[in-house]
Structure 1
């Protein structure tokens, strides 16, 4: 696939809490060295970034390069899913889980891979995305994980808190929600087969990790045309605290309270749960999630 349009570049200057502010000028200089026109996208808010991505794709961008973390990439996916415009990722966020799943390493290595793909005329690979439909009929795309249990409840509380500022508030939110831990009643339908069950955590994954390396579904594969599902049965606060560190290694799936499944389509319903995908607030349950094979082109070799 030949790149026929300009390289649109979306950057989040606050990604990684500002640790990578110096990355963008380096990225722009490297991309301009390819001889292709480079167009930085102007966006001060997530809403402006989303609109800028859609406008770039509609306006004939040859590729979209994102400098940021999972949240910034998530915005780009809404414009790129199902199109011929490839995505390049220069990971520069607090969490870069989807970049890892998509095969982009540290910033310098990712930029080299993007440059090599451009030098080969826009060489690309394709991977799956998850298409989520809300109860109201709205559609959202995500590349990583839909959190729909204790993890989502913590995010919801943390986002409501005005103090303390920064990531510390999520640590406090975890403590508060641990004290309030209780199982919720879920209706989970996997490829048309429904089960009613109580659980404290449910996650639906296209890519296997979230939260900066927590491998909630360690066997998830972004090229297999399927979604992985992790369900944690009712457990005590002490057990949850004990199991949580195992998620980074993916060994939690061997705990007797953890069930795993695989499906092409997942329907999920529960009262009082707001789903978060790629770390972004999406919508209250119920939701339907479908794996769409090959929905995203990547600006890197196969």
Structure 2
């Protein structure tokens, strides 16, 4: 690959396959940039990430992810902190990073915008969150990190083999709601202790997760800060009533919910595995920092 090439990572299973026939049109639109467009080959999420890292190391001019937040998550591990332009064609179920950064919702329109940005040399600096695990590993995310009840539900769903599809997640919610309990969290924001006992924790670079749930409704991925939203101890009924308000972002007005902003977040709690961009990340404790302009977004 050369510095003029556009490498494309496409997930044919994104959005439950709804956009399976979309890729030829996307590649054609990207080709209008005048650059050579090359499709990366990968048969797993891990292979996809390695393919992106290899393409960046070879000196590509731009990397484009076609898919949802999971595909985005793999791709940003390669472009974060580099000068390589990054384009996102939203074709997933959630597309929360795309929505939060002003990427056109229509995939073909997004592809055309990327081609024009490449052709004219235009890019927009956008923040990313940098995570350091207890082992010293570094991961990046674009949208939201969940480390409360939603993370527990995701962990349960990932261990289940039945049922398939969205019903598995719904069943995981029921099972975890039945055993809901508060945890003691260590939370240090820019060096200030905000430890609490509660059930819900989210660290947002963007506003939403889970396909439009506005968990961090005031988050701005260009302000150099992370939004942190926590909920104190809640019973099953109170949590069930709070969850629908996430769609509108009105949960932050509840007196049991507290919002913060910080450049660095240190978070810990027992028996919690955090999820970011909907992907399994690592067990707490974690250090999360905002890295201003860590990705050059083509849009």
Residue 271 of structure 1 corresponds to 270
1:29 CA displacement: 1.3
Aligned residue for 1:87, secondary structure, equals strand
Query: Across the two proteins, how many residue pairs are aligned to each other?
Result: 297
The answer for the alignment partner of 2:89 in structure 1 is: 90
Indicate conservation of the 8 Å contact 2:33/2:116, yes or no.
Answer: no
* 1:32 corresponds to: 31
Q: Please tell me whether residue 114 in structure 1 is matched to residue 98 in structure 2.
A: no
Shift, 1:32, TM fit? 1.9
Matches within 5 A, 1:130-149: 130-149=129-148
TM-score by length of 2: 0.97
Q: How does 1:246-265 map to 2 (within 5 A)?
A: 246-265=245-264
Distance 1:34 1:277 in 2: 32
TM-score normalised per structure 1: 0.96
1:212-238 residue CA offsets vs partner (Å, 9 max, x unmatched):
000100000000000000000111111
Q: Does 1:209 align with 2:208?
A: yes
- Cα distance in 2 for residues equivalent to 1:34 and 1:262: 39
Structure 1: distance between partners of 2:184 and 2:227: 20
Mapped partners of 2:95, 2:194: distance in 1: 33
How far residue 112 of structure 1 moved from its aligned partner, in angstroms, is: 2.5
CA deviations on 1:240-280 (whole Å, 9 max, x unpaired) are: 11111111111110011100000000000100000001111
Give unmatched runs, 5+ long, in structure 2.
Answer: none
Task: Report the CA distance between 1:117 and its aligned residue.
Answer: 1.1
RMSD of aligned C-alpha atoms? 1.1
Match of 1:181 in 2: 180
> Which residue number corresponds to residue 72 of structure 2?
73
- 1:169: which partner in 2? 168
Partner Cα separation in structure 2 for residue 154 and residue 266 of structure 1: 22
Moved over 4 A (4+): none
- Correspondence 1:7 to 2:6: yes
Aligned-pair distance for 1:195? 2.6
Residues 1:126 and 2:148 aligned together: no
Q: Secondary structure at the match of 2:194?
A: strand
Deviates further, 5-14 or 234-243? 234-243
- Given that 2:61 and 2:84 are in contact with CA atoms closer than 8 Å, whether structure 1 keeps it comes out as yes
Q: 1:158-196, CA deviations, whole angstroms, 9 ceiling, x for partnerless residues?
A: 000000011210000001111111111101000001132
Deviations 1:129-149 (A, max 9, x none): 000000111000001111000
2: CA distance, partners of 1:36 / 1:108: 17
Q: CA deviation at 1:30?
A: 1.4
Q: CA deviation at 1:58?
A: 0.7
Per the alignment, in what secondary structure is the counterpart of residue 195 of structure 2?
strand
Say if 2:41 is the partner of 1:49: no
User: Quick check: 2:205–2:219 contact (8 Å CA) kept in 1?
Assistant: yes
1:253 and 1:153 map into 2 onto residues whose CA distance is 21
Mind listing any 5+ residue stretches in structure 1 that lack a counterpart? none
Structure 2 CA distance for aligned equivalents of residues 34 and 188 of structure 1 = 46
